[in-house]
Amino acid sequence: MSFHTPNRYRVRIGVMRTDDTAIGYGLFFVPTSPGAPPLRCLAHDGTLGPDEPGELGGWEHVSVSLPNRCPTWDEMDRIKRLFWDDEDAVMQLHPPRSQWVNLHPYVLHLWRPTGAVIPLPPPVLVGPITG
């Protein structure tokens, strides 16, 4: 189980550019359908650099946005599979309203705590188990 940065989609020009040495973080433009804007993904693996405060560590995170709508379930699933292994559990959180931070109207986030296992409900609570 691990966090991956898909270098083929890494943004390499502009203010937020990074190169392949930025192993656990960066901005990524992931294509969708032809002619449609890419999914903009800002990712971080939860490790801290020398100038980052300790409270930033401990969470792998990918924000996913589009210019004029929220990403769909299928788009979020694609991003999950790009940045994490199939057997990794990641989550979207709905924090208490008093802790909301909204800097973009069409962004969703995927999170995974490092060093902890996300508890999961029994699959049967979601629906019948089939073949």
Strands (DSSP E) found in 39-81? 39-44, 59-65
Let me know if residue 113 belongs to a domain. Answer: yes
CB proximity list for 63: less than 8 A, separation 6 or greater: 41, 42, 43, 107, 108, 109
Q: Flag whether pLDDT at 68 surpasses 90.
A: yes
Is pTM beyond 0.95 here? no
Counting the structural domains of the chain, the total is 1
Q: Which residue from 6, 39, 40 is spatially nearest to 25, judged by alpha carbons?
A: 6
- Quick: pLDDT tens for 2-59: 899 999 999 999 999 999 999 899 999 999 989 999 999 999 998 876 677 666 678 9
For residue 52, being part of any structural domain is answered with yes
Residue 85 domain-assigned (yes or no): yes
- For the stretch 73-125, pLDDT in tens is 999 999 999 999 999 999 999 989 999 888 889 999 999 999 899 999 998 89
Is 2 inside a domain boundary? no
Q: Is 107 a member of any domain?
A: yes
Element containing residue 30 per DSSP (H, E): strand 25-30
Residue 130 lies in a domain: no
CATH of the domain at 95: 3.40.1720
How many other CB atoms are there within 10 angstroms of residue 39's CB atom? 22
Q: Is 1 inside any structural domain?
A: no
Find the domain containing 118 and state its range. Answer: 7-125
